[in-house]
Amino acid sequence: MVQTEAQQSGSLMRAASPLPGARKALEVRNLRVGFPTEEGMVQAVGGIDLEIERGRTLALVGESGCGKSVTGRALMALQPKHAEVSGEIWLTPGRQEAQLDRRLRASSENGSFNLLQFKPGGKEMRHVRGGLISMIFQEPMTALSPLHTIGDQIMENILLHRTKNRKEARSIALEMMERVGIGNAQRRLDQYPHEFSGGMRQRAMIAMALSCQPALLIADEPTTALDVTIQAQVLELMKQLQHELGMAILFITHDLGVVAETADEVAVMYLGRIVERAPVRELFRNPKHPYTKGLMRSIPRIGGVGGRLASIEGTVPLPLNRPPMCGFYERCSERIEGVCNRQDVPESDAGPGHKVRCFLYSEPEKKGDNPHE
Amino acid sequence: MIRYIAKRTLVMIPVSLAVSMIVFFIIQLPPGDFISGYAAKMSASGEVMDAQALAKLRENYGLDRPWYTQYFSWIWGILTSGDFGYSLSYNRPVSEIIGQYMGITVIISLATMIFTYVVAIPIGILSAVKKYSFFDYFATGVGFLGMATPNFLFAIILMFLSFQWWGDPMLGLFSPEFADAPWTAAKWMDLLKHMIIPVIVIGTSNTCELIRVMRGQMLDEMSKPHIVTARAKGLPEWKILLKYSMRAAVNPVISTIGWSLTTIFTGSTITAIVLNLPTQGPIMHRALLSQDMYLAGSWLLLMAIFTLIGTLLSDILLAWLDPRIRLDRKEA
Ligand SMILES: Nc1ncnc2c1ncn2[C@@H]1O[C@H](COP(=O)(O)OP(=O)(O)OP(=O)(O)O)[C@@H](O)[C@H]1O
Ligand code: SF4
Ligand SMILES: [Mg+2]
């Protein structure tokens, strides 16, 4: 299905030469994304911290509408123009300085840069998009243009970031197609998306996203639209390519079965906040937050794969004009009245690499009123 | 693709024949014929024709035979010798009348279409890209006005203004001094000048509608998921607009050029009458009223053929522009 090491030509291996020492590909500090509306600010992402190490996968899980996609898009500055974004997004491409764009080099601090200093559509950000961070989407049917060939769309990425030479771009595209297991790649490059099956399209998307060897791949529910066997193949492919290319992956999903199979770390998101994060085994063995526990209970025991997050009672409130309080308060069976609904919940340690945001594991502030939101 | 076009062209032959027969049948359907209308007109002016003279006339023109016999001898004439029959009201061969008016009709229609597309596509696209800007509101406002104003009223207003400002309502297509003059540069200029009002009048409502279609298409295309994909690759915004949104938005508009050609042929009759244009519309109108069946039949037949060709043209453009349709066709 996928080419063996010996068959791969050298060109793909060229770009990535990791910087020694820099382990974290991505560090997000207090990221907030708000959408001003007529009724007030919809705080889709309400101050989150994330870290992903090179070559590792962080799964971002949570119910529909909790802010996963908004987070993923904000990392590439793909939010709508009117959105308000604040915080810090530190990217460490892990490449030799010389391989970076001149503008990016100028704003780097020890090989890292804060992406939020760049204008969303500006030149620097456009070097980051597709070059250092790539994204694959849920719907392989609509994420490709129906009027352009697959080859054209993959080569576009390569021509923007790796070479100006069309012939070279085509041969890189060809190599990527073979690498993601698309047979007869030479002919396939000249075909259109509608001639590809859903699984093949998602493979082509992966080929496109990885053609410039990004430091970070954001995969927003990449397998949700595929049927189960194809889903497993695509996940396997992503894992293998991650092993070969060493990129970090932010894997957005609401399927805990997929999380168990792919993630190294897990961050559980609820109403725009990360309520719990831990290494994957730790989280499955020892969930702390009432919301996470609810999620775990909702996984079907037998079979394992395919658990959807739907069976917790109540619905997610809209993150609109919320006072400082626990976001899960309305649905929580362990809530402490007068505490959980009075102040913002701080994050506390719950074991090695395990953090949780719940008053069951931390002392509330004595006064009750938390001055900062 | 070539096989597909050949196939479609072949299919057009029986379809045009069937259309022509239906057309012919419908024209002769109302009671009476050209002769009875003619007799009525004569008697109104005091000249009474006896039944024998009328019968003689009918026999001369073949009007006494059943309609299908008339049809077959007519169509036979067209197929074998390009003879479209004889116009009773003009007292001239139909092909001569067609020759005289068809050129002008085609010129005006083409000019109108070019006007429509050249004006509407850029305005529509700009309105979408600058959504809710002053420009967008302005274009939308003018567009609605243009669609709401009936063409004949619009024609009269423009003629009045032209008369006020230049002392010439620009009636017809030529100034009197050029009407029978040979084709010189000055005559062409005169024609161009006279075409301004008709083109604007006939083209405006289509233009306004096309602006709205174009704007909607463009907004739709700009919000497609694959636009986000393109953005995520680091493509600059203007390139995304050109390569993806505009390309896709223009597609359906370009590919319906063939169809709109036929609607311009058929849709401008009243305007042409008001503006006194020697196009086919008013001729057709008169031919139908007087049951001048060979003339009317020939016009309608040509129109049907134009429609068929226009449709084929659209289909070819559509296939050429859209790979999904193209590949479908390949297999067909
Ligand atoms: N452009 C926008 N304007 C206003 N609100 C928005 C906008 N985009 C997203 N939101 C809101 O932000 C919240 C988070 O949306 P998001 O798409 O990130 O959810 P998600 O976690 O990805 O859900 P799903 O699993 O359904 O994809 C939702 O409440 C949504 O209504
Ligand atoms: S902080 Fe309180 S309401 Fe929130 S999850 Fe913990 S116990 Fe439940
Ligand atoms: Mg989402």
Q: What is the ipTM of this complex?
A: 0.85
Pocket test for ligand 1, best of A32, A64, A69, A135 (most atoms within 8 A of CB): A69
Parallel, antiparallel, or unpaired: how do β-strands A248-253 and A57-61 relate?
Answer: parallel
B83-134 tens-digit pLDDT: 888 887 788 888 888 777 777 777 887 888 888 899 999 999 999 999 989 9
**Which pLDDT belongs to residue A365?**
65
Per CB-CB distance under 8 Å, the chain A contacts of B131 are none
**Which pLDDT belongs to residue A12?**
43
Asked if residue B203 has pLDDT above 80, the reply is: yes
> Ligand 1, atom 8: nearest CA belongs to which residue?
A70
A67 lines ligand 1 (CB under 6 A): yes
**Which pLDDT belongs to residue B145?**
86
Mean pLDDT of A158-181: 94
Mean pLDDT of A222-235: 87
What is the total residue count of chain B? 332
Residue B67 lies in a domain: no
Contact indicator for A285, A354 with CB cutoff of 8 Å: no
Q: Which of A123, A135, A147 to mutate to test the interface with B (most CBs of B within 10 A)?
A: A147
Torsion of CA A185, A186, A190, A192, to 10 degrees: -10
CB contact under 8 A, B226 and A144: yes
Per CB-CB distance under 8 Å, the chain A contacts of B248 are 145-147
How far apart CA A289 and CA A350 sit, in angstroms, is 10
**Which pLDDT belongs to residue A96?**
66
Q: What SS3 state is found at A50?
A: strand
Cα A191 to ligand 2 centroid, rounded to whole Å: 53
Residue B32 lies in a domain: no
A27-68 tens-digit pLDDT: 999 999 999 988 888 999 999 999 999 999 999 999 888 999
A65-94 tens-digit pLDDT: 899 999 999 999 999 999 999 999 999 987
Asked if residue B81 has pLDDT above 80, the reply is: yes
Asked if residue A349 has pLDDT above 80, the reply is: yes
Q: Which residue has the higher pLDDT, A178 or B299?
A: A178
A295 lines ligand 1 (CB under 6 A): no
Give me the CATH number covering residue B198.
Answer: 1.10.3720.10
How far apart CA B244 and CA A195 sit, in angstroms, is 19
Mean pLDDT of B62-79: 82
> Ligand 1, atom 11: nearest CA belongs to which residue?
A44
Q: How far is A35 from chain B (nearest CA, A)?
A: 18
- Predicted confidence band at B154 (pLDDT cuts at 50, 70, 90)? confident
Residue with tokens 């993150």: A319
Contact indicator for A162, A210 with CB cutoff of 8 Å: no
Proportion of chain A in helix, strand, coil states, percent, rounded to 5: 35, 20, 45
Residue B149 lies in a domain: yes
Asked if residue B164 has pLDDT above 50, the reply is: yes
Please report the atom of ligand 2 found closest to the CA of residue A332.
Answer: 8
Mean pLDDT of A111-130: 91
How far apart CA A356 and CA A273 sit, in angstroms, is 11
Name the residue among B98, B82, B76 with its Cα closest to residue B24. B76
User: Does residue A72 sit at the B interface (CB-CB below 8 Å)?
Assistant: no
> Ligand 1, atom 2: nearest CA belongs to which residue?
A35
Provide the 8-state DSSP code for A226: S
Distances (CA, A) of B166 to B160, B163, B178, B288: 10, 5, 18, 37
How far apart CA B229 and CA A78 sit, in angstroms, is 10
**Which pLDDT belongs to residue A11?**
41
Provide the 8-state DSSP code for A277: E
Name the residue among A306, A257, A252 with its Cα closest to residue A274. A252
Q: Where are the alpha helices (DSSP H) in B223-332?
A: 225-232, 237-240, 247-255, 257-267, 269-274, 280-289, 293-321, 323-331
| Mean pLDDT across chain B | 82
| Contact map slice: A 223-282 vs B, CB within 8 A | none
CB neighbours of residue B323 within 10 Å: 18
Residue B40 lies in a domain: no
Q: What percent of chain A has pLDDT over 70?
A: 86
- Predicted confidence band at A311 (pLDDT cuts at 50, 70, 90)? low
Q: Which residues line ligand 2 (CB under 6 A)?
A: A 289-290, 326, 328-329, 332, 334-336, 340, 345, 358-360
CB contact under 8 A, B327 and A194: yes
Instruction: Tell me which ligand sits closest to the C-alpha of residue A309.
Output: 1
Cα A256 to ligand 3 centroid, rounded to whole Å: 15
Name the residue among B21, B39, B89, B63 with its Cα closest to residue B286. B89
User: Does residue A31 sit at the B interface (CB-CB below 8 Å)?
Assistant: no
CB neighbours of residue A20 within 10 Å: 6
Per CB-CB distance under 8 Å, the chain B contacts of A121 are 236-237
Per CB-CB distance under 8 Å, the chain B contacts of A83 are none
Asked if residue B55 has pLDDT above 50, the reply is: yes
User: Does residue A157 sit at the B interface (CB-CB below 8 Å)?
Assistant: yes
Q: Where are the alpha helices (DSSP H) in A180-279?
A: 185-188, 198-210, 228-245, 256-262
Residue B312 lies in a domain: no
| First CA to last CA distance, chain A | 52
Per CB-CB distance under 8 Å, the chain B contacts of A78 are 228, 231-232
Residue A331 burial (10 A CB sphere; 0-12, 13-18, 19+):
middle
CB contact under 8 A, B225 and A139: yes
Q: How far is A149 from chain B (nearest CA, A)?
A: 9
**Which pLDDT belongs to residue A134?**
96
Residue A79's closest chain B neighbor by CA? B228
Integer-rounded Cα radius of gyration of chain B: 25
CA angle B92, B98, B99 (to 5 degrees): 100
User: Does residue A151 sit at the B interface (CB-CB below 8 Å)?
Assistant: no
Instruction: Tell me which ligand sits closest to the C-alpha of residue A359.
Output: 2
**Which pLDDT belongs to residue A201?**
93
How far apart CA A280 and CA A259 sit, in angstroms, is 8
Provide the 8-state DSSP code for A361: G
How far apart CA A157 and CA A130 sit, in angstroms, is 7
Identify which of A76-90, A299-313, B58-72 has the greatest average pLDDT: A76-90
pTM of the model: 0.80
Identify which of A273-287, B44-58, B169-183, B275-289 has the greatest average pLDDT: A273-287
Residue B302 lies in a domain: no
User: Does residue A127 sit at the B interface (CB-CB below 8 Å)?
Assistant: yes
CB neighbours of residue A271 within 10 Å: 25
- Predicted confidence band at B190 (pLDDT cuts at 50, 70, 90)? confident
Instruction: Tell me which ligand sits closest to the C-alpha of residue A35.
Output: 1
- Predicted confidence band at A161 (pLDDT cuts at 50, 70, 90)? very high
Q: Print the domain residue range for B205.
A: 105-293
Range from B199-203, B245-249, B264-268 carrying the lowest mean pLDDT: B264-268
Range from A151-155, A270-274, B48-52 carrying the lowest mean pLDDT: B48-52
Q: What percent of chain B has pLDDT over 70?
A: 94
Residue B251 lies in a domain: yes
Residue B221 lies in a domain: yes
Minimal Cβ distance to B233: which of A129, A147, A194: A129
A267 lines ligand 1 (CB under 6 A): no
Domain count, chain B: 1
Q: How far is B235 from chain A (nearest CA, A)?
A: 7
**Which pLDDT belongs to residue A20?**
46
Minimal Cβ distance to A160: which of B235, B237, B247: B235
Residue A267 backbone phi and psi in degrees, to 5: -120, 125
What is the total residue count of chain A? 373
Minimal Cβ distance to A137: which of B225, B248, B321: B225
Mean pLDDT of A330-357: 90
Mean pLDDT of A145-167: 95
Q: Where are the alpha helices (DSSP H) in chain A?
A: 68-75, 102-106, 123-128, 150-161, 166-179, 185-188, 198-210, 228-245, 256-262, 280-285, 290-297
User: Does residue A78 sit at the B interface (CB-CB below 8 Å)?
Assistant: yes
Contact indicator for A107, A113 with CB cutoff of 8 Å: yes
